[in-house]
Chain A
Amino acid sequence: MALETRVIEEFRSELRSVDINEAPYDKQGYHLAIEARTGNLQNIVDFFDKREFYIVDLFCVDYQDYLELVYFFNTHRELCRIKVTLKLDPEKPVAPTISNIYPMASWYEREVHEFFGVYFEGHPNLTYLFLHDGIDHYPLRKKHVPVPDEDKKLLNSFKPQEEEDCFFINLGPQHPSTHGVLRVVLKMDGEYIISADPVLGYLHRMHEKMAEKKSYAQFLPNPARMDYPGALLFNLAHVETVEKLCGIEVPERAKYIRTITCELNRIASHLLWLGSFPADLGGLTPFLYAFDDRENILDILEDVTGSRLTYCYFRFGGLYNDINEERFVSATKRFVERMRKRFDMYDKLITGNVIFINRITNIGIMEQAMIRKYGASGPFTRSTGIPFDMRKVDPYAAYGSIDFEIPTGHIGDNMDRYRVRMKEMEISLNIIEEGIKKLPQGPFKAEKVPKKLKPPKGDIYNAVESTRGETGVYIVSDESDTPYRMRWRVPSFSNLMTFPYLAQGVLIADAIATLGSYDIVVPEMDR
């Protein structure tokens, strides 16, 4: 019996008063839809918590007449995506918090609060996370809604309270080890961290707002700028979602090329991480070795896509142009061969180093049970031993016809995260090799894709496995050529939420090693 049918049965017997509806998964990307009310939201969330669901996303949609809070749940065991919605009054939107059940929700609720003005009753710390001091309205509301005065006090309201025996350190927004502009406020007791409090939004570039103003095709370059090390994967997430929404069929050849280029991009992104992680620990040289390999990938991808970093190669229904098969295949094969040999070198340079081993083993241990509570994903999840990978769970592109394994760790410390990523690179090489072997001939683009896409009314959630984890796109369409609302569920954001938990009571050097092992990308978190 499929999980969703079991859930329906149990749900109906436990919560009689709530409706639960089945949704067409192919069209909408989720199995079940539940409409909650303010009174029973906690019970519903509790029901999913007991059945070991993890929370995927929490966001808001402004339908003018009402605001709709959307919660997505899923399990790590098999795919069973559930959408829970809660309608709110746009004049005075108040909702109960679920951060007491899922600690992860607390950040999402803060985000919804600052962008939509929704209040969450019982929220421990409803302060602004993203926006700057001068903001005077709720940006993602359709109408202009000014920020009331009592809310303005919450803007950047972080005021360190000096206490005895501790002091505050601002790690960032400009700091060598935060890889960009993340700011973490550390409360320190000597070298030990009492608590860590990340402040985001230094690179908030309004992608979600932009999506509402631009047509589907005009938005194409944006995802690449969200996650620049893994640009193609974000590009893919956007394109696949719109294709599913419009029902566009993609030719086989395009699927394979997508898979191969995506895996190349994944290796490039992991190499970037492989360089910067030892750099966080003080060893600068691996950085240059990793970049050396990365340049080889960039050469291949530049030949195909035309740019070095922010690729925009996939189009609705296929690709921008076909690959030069001879050149591409031989270059890729050469790279795969070279890369296989390099792993030994990395083993000697990094993994074999005693200092490196001592610095990262048993540091930053993430328990398997907590992963679910924080909604973490990607290599971060897999390092704790949960073999959850969107490529396997819900195959997209050509992953369904390629056989590969999912590397997992044991205890979820920094060493496991390192090992999982290294292994993932090797597996990506295998996928690339198999993809090239199976690469079919044929068209690279679907015929008759209209220039101006006008998808049917409705909503859809679709996720791909990007380098950092589950990257989901949620689109509400109103039959016009621009999305009514586009929501990005980004992995770095939910992964980073575990940082305050892991940084508690450790040395500052360990906390920085842990932060390095996350492989965060700031523009992706800030969107």
Chain B
Amino acid sequence: MLNDLNTLMQIVGKEVVRTVLGLIGVFIVVLGNAIVLTWLERKVAGHIQRRIGPKEVGPYGIIQSFADSVKLLGKELLTPANVDRPLYFLAPSLIFVPVLVSFVVIPFDGFLQVKDINVGILVILAFSSLTVLSILIAGWSSANKYSLIGSVRSVSQNIAYEIPLLLSLLSVVFMTNSLSLRDIAEAQKGLWFVFYQPVAFLVFFVAGVAETNRTPFDLPEAESELVAGFHTEYSGMRFSLFFLAEYTNMFIVSAIAVTFFLGSYQGPVLPGVVWFFIKTYALVFILLWFRWTFPRVRFDQLLNFSWKILIPVSFLNLLVTGGILKL
């Protein structure tokens, strides 16, 4: 087996095999993560709300979300009469691309990384902006007013929050002088960056919640206002792709936060990949906690918060960081 692998590597080159294997791994992680997260979300919601949550399907209801995804596969794919067909079909697949690409550059361990690109964080940020595009397409093509309002909200929200997101990460980049995620992770062997950059961490986390459209910033799909927001008209598998993307985005935001601020895979005793997942899921848990505790903010409050508070604060933080490093 190993010999075969070695010969294969010699024939097609080490990098290609690594990339292919990595992509397969990424697929497994993405799907597995979505299933685990839906289950986790329902369980966490249940316990926050003084009830048990799923428990009948499988032990502790673990198989529940798996059963649900099988059900979604079997549902009819409805296409409403007056949708913009090409765009309507495109949107769900388009939302999945940036999600997969982001996984490529995240280091799960010193070794476990599909490809270490020296502008890794730029790749993630550039591709994550594509999510907005597909939400806009979904909302526009659905020919539904609720969807349209939802997608328009989503666009202005993401534009507003991308800036503080970027600025807060920049202050870490200032310290490491590298855009590669691996280098940043390695730089935290001693003290985590969250202790150097607490403000940047907070700004990043808040902006990250907004980027993933989670409560209290879940305006694009505000249930009590817009029914289901931009995916109101999507059913079956197409809907579940949006769903999958949402949960994977949550994971990615938490993973970036871990990589940049919480020492990535660094930790004692346990192997790095375990540490990475523990830290990431701890952050994901906080995201879930937010959702089931907070009400939703209003649209103008949301934008004001970004433009009037987060962006100035992160600029100031960047200035101070630059000043201290210069001295």
A450: interface (CB < 8 Å): no
User: Is the CB–CB distance between A359 and B51 below 8 Å?
Assistant: no
Shortest Cβ distance from residue A517 to the other chain B in the assembled complex, whole angstroms? 13
**Which of these binds chain A: B114-122, B133-141, B294-302?**
B294-302
Interface size on B, residues (CB 8 A): 26
Asked if B71 CB lies within 8 Å of chain A CBs, one says no
Stretch at the interface among B102-110, B170-178, B186-194, B220-228: B220-228
Q: Does A149 contact B (CB under 8 A)?
A: no
Q: Identify which of residues 262-300 in chain A touch chain B, using a CB-to-CB cut-off of 8 Å.
A: 278-285, 288-289, 292
Scan residues 468-527 of chain A and give those whose CB is less than 8 A from a CB of chain B.
507-510, 512
Nearest-Cβ distance from residue A189 to partner chain B, whole angstroms:
12
Interface pair A281/B227, CB less than 8 Å apart: no
Chain B residues near A288: list those with CB within 8 A. Answer: 49-51
Q: Do the beta carbons of A191 and B299 come within 8 Å of each other?
A: yes
Q: Is the CB of A282 within 8 A of B146?
A: no
CA distance A356 to B49 in the complex (A): 18
**Binary contact track B213-245/A, C-beta < 8 Å → 1, others 0:** 001101000111101000000000000000000
How many residues in A have their beta carbons less than 8 Å from beta carbons of B?
A: 29
B327 to chain A, nearest CB (A): 37
Pair A281/B292 contact, Cβ less than 8 Å: no
B19 at the interface (CB under 8 A from A): no
> Is B149 close to A, CB under 8 A?
yes
Chain B residues lying within 8 Å of A292, measured Cβ to Cβ, are 50
Compute how far the CA of A171 lies from the CA of B51 in the bound complex, rounded to whole angstroms. 32
Q: How far is it, in angstroms, between the C-alpha of A292 and the C-alpha of B49 when the chains are bound?
A: 10
Minimum CB–CB distance from B105 to chain A (whole Å) comes to 34
- The answer to whether A359 and B295 touch (CB under 8 A), given A282-B216, A289-B50, is yes
Query: CA separation between A356 and B297, bound complex, in Å?
Result: 8
Which chain B residue has the least Cβ–Cβ distance from A175?
A: B227
What residue in chain A is nearest B291 (Cβ atoms)? A284
- Does residue A2 face the partner (Cβ distance < 8 Å to B)? no
State the CA gap A121–B10 with chains docked (Å). 94
Q: Are B298 and A283 in contact (CB under 8 A)?
A: no
Let me know if A507 and B300 touch, CB within 8 A.
yes
Q: Is B296 a contact partner of A355 (Cβ separation < 8 A)?
A: yes
CB distance B149 to A355 under 8 Å?
no
Q: Is the CB of B146 within 8 A of A281?
A: no
Q: Beyond A167-B145, A508-B225, is A284–B292 a contact (Cβ under 8 Å)?
A: yes
When A176-B224, A282-B223, A285-B49 are in contact, do A507 and B299 touch as well, CB less than 8 Å?
Answer: yes
Contact B294 A353 (CB under 8 A): yes
- By the criterion CB–CB under 8 Å, are A509 and B299 in contact? yes
A344–B297 Cα distance when bound, in Å, is: 23
Assembled-state Cα–Cα distance A281/B215 (Å): 11
Task: Give Cα A349–Cα B294 distance, bound, in whole angstroms.
Answer: 9
Complex interface: chain B residues within 8 A of A353 (CB): 294-295
Task: State which of B51, B222, B225, B301 has its C-beta within 8 Å of the C-beta of A358.
Answer: B301
Closest beta carbon of chain B to A430's beta carbon, Å: 27
Q: Is A177 an interface residue (CB 8 A)?
A: yes
With an 8 A cutoff between CB atoms, is B293 at the interface? yes
B20 contacts the other chain (CB 8 A): no
Question: Contacts A358-B301, A509-B222, A512-B224 given: A283-B296 contact, CB under 8 Å?
Answer: yes
For A359, what are the chain B residues with a Cβ–Cβ distance below 8 Å?
295-298, 301
Chain A residue numbers with a CB within 8 Å of B294 are 282-283, 353, 355
Is A169 an interface residue, CB under 8 A from the partner? yes
A191 to B151, CA, bound (A): 12
Q: How far is the CB of B218 from chain A (nearest CB, A)?
A: 7
Asked whether B50 lies within 8 Å of A282 as measured between CB atoms, the reply is no
Instruction: Fill in one digit per residue for B4-39: 1 if any A CB lies within 8 Å of its CB, else 0.
Output: 000000000000000000000000000000000000
How far is B48's CA from A24's CA once the two chains are assembled, in angstroms? Answer: 58
Known contacts: A508-B225, A509-B225. The answer to whether A281 contacts B295 by CB under 8 A is yes
Question: B-facing mask of A345-378, CB < 8 A → 1, else 0?
Answer: 0000100010110110000000000000000000
Alpha-carbon gap, A288 to B298, bound state (A): 23
Contact status B50-A283, CB under 8 Å: no
Contacts of A278 in B (CB 8 A): 295
Q: Distance in Å from the Cβ of A175 to the closest Cβ of chain B?
A: 7
A168 to B153, CA, bound (A): 18
**Distance of B50 from chain A, by nearest CB (Å):** 6
Q: Within 8 Å CB of B297, what residues of A?
A: 355, 358-359
User: Quick one: which of B197-227 are within 8 Å of A by CB?
Assistant: 215-216, 218, 222-225, 227
CB distance from A338 to the nearest CB of B (A): 14
- Do residues B301 and A177 form an inter-chain contact, with CB atoms below 8 A? no
Query: What's the least CB distance linking B52 to chain A, in Å?
Result: 12
A167 and B146 alpha carbons, distance in the complex (Å): 11
For residue A177, give the distance in angstroms from its CB to the closest CB of chain B: 4
B residues in contact with A356, CB < 8 Å: 295
- Whole-angstrom distance between the alpha carbons of A167 and B144 in the complex? 12
The reply to whether A507 and B295 contact each other, CB–CB distance below 8 Å, is no
Determine how close the nearest CB of chain B comes to the CB of A407; give it in whole angstroms: 23
Q: Known contacts A167-B145, A169-B146, A175-B227; is A282 also within 8 Å of B299 by CB?
A: no
Q: Which residues of B contact A168 (CB under 8 A)?
A: 145
**Closest residue to A171 on the B side, CB-wise?**
B225
Residues from chain A with Cβ under 8 Å of B300 in the complex = 507
Q: Is there an interface contact between A191 and B149, defined as CB atoms closer than 8 Å?
A: yes
Report the Cα distance A512→B225, complex, angstroms.
7
- Chain B residue at minimum C-beta to C-beta distance from A287: B49
Neighbouring B residues of A355 by C-beta, 8 Å: 216, 294-297
Return chain B residues, CB-CB under 8 Å to A512. Answer: 224-225
B298 lies within 8 A of A509 (CB): yes
| Residue pair A169, B145 in contact (C-beta under 8 Å) | yes
How far is B222's CA from A279's CA once the two chains are assembled, in angstroms? 11
Which partner residue on chain A sits nearest B215 by CB separation?
A282
By a CB distance below 8 angstroms, the chain A residues around B146 are: 169
Pick the contact of A285: B216, B223, B227, B292 (CB < 8 A).
B292
Q: Are B224 and A279 within 8 A (Cβ)?
A: yes
A282–B294 alpha-carbon span in the complex (Å): 7
Distance in Å from the Cβ of B306 to the closest Cβ of chain A?
15
Whose C-beta in chain B lies nearest to the C-beta of A278?
Answer: B295
Q: A415 CB to closest chain B CB, in angstroms?
A: 13
**Nearest Cβ distance between residue A332 and chain B, in whole angstroms?**
23
**What separation, in Å, do the CA atoms of A358 and B305 have in the docked complex?**
12
Question: Once the chains are docked, how many angstroms separate the CA of A284 from the CA of B153?
Answer: 21
Say how far B286's CB is from chain A's closest CB, in angstroms: 15
CA distance A384 to B195 in the complex (A): 50
A358 — which chain B residues lie within 8 A by C-beta? 297-298, 301
B293, chain A: closest CB distance, angstroms = 6
A500 to B299, CA, bound (A): 21
A249 to B225, CA, bound (A): 50
**By the criterion CB–CB under 8 Å, are A283 and B295 in contact?**
yes
Chain B residues positioned under 8 Å from A175 (CB to CB): 227
| Chain B residue at smallest Cβ distance from A510 | B298
How far in angstroms is the closest Cβ of chain B from A110? Answer: 27
CA distance A504 to B224 in the complex (A): 19
A-B contact pairs, 25 of them (CB 8 A): A176-B227, A191-B149, A281-B224, A281-B295, A282-B218, A282-B222, A282-B223, A282-B294, A283-B215, A283-B293, A284-B292, A285-B49, A285-B293, A288-B50, A289-B49, A292-B50, A355-B295, A355-B297, A358-B298, A507-B299, A507-B300, A509-B222, A509-B296, A509-B298, A512-B224
Considering the complex of A and B, which 8 residue pairs feature the smallest CB-CB distances, nearest first?
Answer: A282-B296, A283-B295, A281-B295, A177-B224, A288-B49, A282-B295, A280-B224, A509-B298
Sample of 6 further A-B pairs with CB below 8 A, known A167-B145, A191-B299, A283-B293: A282-B222, A283-B294, A285-B292, A353-B294, A359-B301, A509-B299
Binding site for B on A (CB under 8 A): 167-169, 175-177, 191, 278-285, 288-289, 292, 349, 353, 355-356, 358-359, 507-510, 512
